Homo-oligomer: A and B are copies of this chain.
């Protein structure tokens, strides 16, 4: 149990809104296929913007929401599932755009779609211990450049977005906390979700198979493996928090796809009215997806102070991650 409080959040959506009806046309699909398959009505694609520019804009909003300036931040963590460029790390590039007057430390924590959950959990220990007072977490992902129109099942799902979040230790009298956290990696599913090319293995100068530089997902295999392990995972997470499913006020799942979220909620026994579902407006925005849903649910006054919130998702790896917070 760490006495951690989310004191501000901000989001940024890139300029170009793309309707599912446009995707239908682009891919030669029948009218309505994209929205039906994905649960997405609209997503945003970056149009010349970089992930660090988007992240910096989200960060500025999170700082305003927290009533802080950048001078109050002690550490910047990029919690993104994609990288802007191999070197330096994305946090340094966000730092460059924010132009702090002090040399605030900046580094990346990456577990693909779970990066925000992993970073929030990890950094909560450093904040709880007093190492850093205010930490700025930024999830900024550009999916649109790396999706494969030949794989329509995944192409239709994704959008681009940036979300930022400021955390600090709860003051005396404040009840905000992280009650439990759990992550498991089942690497027998490491190849279910991949972009194979672009790093040291399939280097762009030595490799020319274009598909290898694009997102490749075996949705059915992910579903089979995660279905097998999710209930055991949830039991352990709830046990750690000494809570039952009924005591959780809100489920904020990774916005993977409309169908995946419905099945997940059903499997772990959550009524759909307790699930924050914003995929319709944004698509799957990789690591920005969970904080984006959290952001909107707070803004819309759904999630209120003191309520118990479960952040839960799967990611490439294949990993499961969950965090139970009292907001």
List the interface of chain A (C-beta within 8 A of B).
50-51, 76, 81-89, 91-93, 95-96, 99-100, 103-112, 114-115, 118, 122-123, 125-126, 128-129, 131, 141-142, 145-146, 181, 183-188, 190, 193-206, 210, 213-215, 229, 315-321
Contacts and interface: CB of A to CB of B under 8 A. Distances in A.
A88 B129 contact: no
21 contacts: A82-B87, A85-B196, A85-B197, A86-B199, A88-B112, A89-B111, A89-B317, A91-B111, A95-B185, A95-B317, A99-B187, A103-B184, A105-B321, A106-B187, A108-B108, A108-B109, A129-B129, A131-B181, A141-B200, A146-B203, A205-B214
A181 B203 CA distance: 35
Contact of A112 (B84, B89, B319): B89
Contacts of A104: 184-185
Nearest to A316: B88
Given A184-B103, A185-B106, A215 B122 contact: no
Contacts of A185: 76, 91-92, 95, 103-107
A288 to B, nearest CB: 13
Contacts of A103: 184-187, 229, 320
- Within the oligomer, what is the number of copies of this chain? 2
Contact of A195 (B86, B184, B210): B86
Contact of A213 (B105, B145, B204, B319): B204
A146 B86 contact: yes
A236 B114 CA distance: 34
Contacts of A202: 85
Contacts of A183: 105, 107
Contact of A92 (B50, B83, B107, B316): B316
Contact of A105 (B88, B184, B204, B214): B184
- Residue picked from A84, A100, A106, most chain B C-beta under 10 Å: A106
A317 B83 contact: no
Contacts of A126: 122, 125
